[in-house]
Amino acid sequence: MKQIQIGDATITSIIERDGPWRRPQDFFPNYDREIAYRHFAEMPDFVFDKASDRMVITYQTFVVRTPHHTILVDTCTGEDKGHPPPFDFPKQRWLDEFNASGLRFEDIDYVFCTHLHIDHCGWNTRLVNGRWVPTFPKAKYIFHKREYAAWEQATKEEKNPPGNVWRFNCEPVMQADQGLLVDDDYALDDLVTLTPTPGHSPCHCCVNISSKGQRASVVGDLMHHALQVREPDWSAGVDWDPVQSAQSRRRFFGAVADTGTLILPVHFPSPTVGQIEGGSDGFRYRFLMP
């Protein structure tokens, strides 16, 4: 994704990995191949790799620069976490793209996590002298308080996911006094707000950026693939509550369809950004081509 402009704010992407990833039949319990291929026929080729029968999935962080703040939304899988395959991505690409954006770790004012899964909070921390420390030394990290509490509880009960994710990526941030636990109605300022979209995780939130009448929304894992815009009931098998996840998609799509809101789904391949269109036969995702 090239840089996009939302009024006085700019948004750019830092990619950790991209390319063909999972087979949709393994990922969506409600998957129907015939229906899916009908939808693929009207989607751009880059969303699905027919040769390997795999969805094309990107892992990325969004950098939001407002006149007042530099913000990261979602921080990929990170480094030194010891994740087993397939989450043992090489880390250099993310670092290279972060550096190429002209940023240093100390330039980040806020980190938002749409939710606290393995691939959305990894760069929150780094391993320094055997201790997990916040990667961004001057940043405040915004976590939804019930999302944080749910993964704290799951970790203490030794339930997976996220296993070590909360312990490595979230708890050290709070211990360093850089975390801020917030509720649904949190607003950083006039530009940056949250929309609760629970289901994929206990308190998944979209992060909205609004300026001068324009609006964008980083939608995290509200959906993993454009198929889910056509078929909102195709919840991911990994969802915390698949019924609630589908309800959140329908509500969100209904609210943003045909409004001009730019949508930024973390896992959609480049150019990523698009708009939701309504219609008598359901919703569509229209990628904004560069």
* Residue ranges in contact with Zn ion by CB under 5 A: 119, 221
Cβ 128 to Zn ion, closest distance in Å?
A: 26
Q: How far apart are CA 261 and CA 196, in angstroms?
A: 17
Give the residue with the Cβ less far from Zn ion, 10 or 244.
244
- At which residue do the structure tokens 């708890």 appear? 171
- Taking the C-alpha atoms of residue 97 and residue 13, their distance in angstroms, rounded to an integer, is 9
**Nearer of residues 16 and 221 to Zn ion, judged by Cβ:** 221
CB of 168 to Zn ion, least distance (A): 17
C-beta of 63 vs 118, nearer to Zn ion:
118
> Could you tell me the smallest distance in angstroms from the CB atom of residue 278 to Zn ion?
26
Contact partners, residue 17, CB within 8 Å, separation at least 6: 58, 59, 89, 90, 93
Nearer of residues 120 and 126 to Zn ion, judged by Cβ:
120
Instruction: Note whether 162 and 155 are within 8 A (CB).
Output: yes
- Minimum Å gap between C-beta 58 and Zn ion is 10
Nearer to Zn ion, 59 or 283 (CB): 59
**Residue of 219, 246, 221 lying closest to 235 (CA atoms):** 246
Torsion, Cα 144 147 143 254, to 10 degrees, reads -50
Minimal distance in Å, beta carbon 150 to Zn ion? 16
Nearer to Zn ion, 84 or 290 (CB): 84
- Asked if residue 198 lies in contact with residue 206, where contact means CB atoms within 8 angstroms, the answer is no
Min separation Cβ 114 and Zn ion, Å? 9
Could you count the other beta carbons within 10 Å of the beta carbon of residue 131? 10
In degrees rounded to 5, what are phi and psi of residue 101?
-75, -5
Distance of CA 195 to the CA centre of its chain: 13
**C-beta atoms surrounding 178 within 10 Å:** 18
**Cβ 60 to Zn ion, closest distance in Å?**
10
The nearer residue to Zn ion, 149 or 238, going by C-beta atoms, is: 238
Provide the token pair at 36.
């899916």
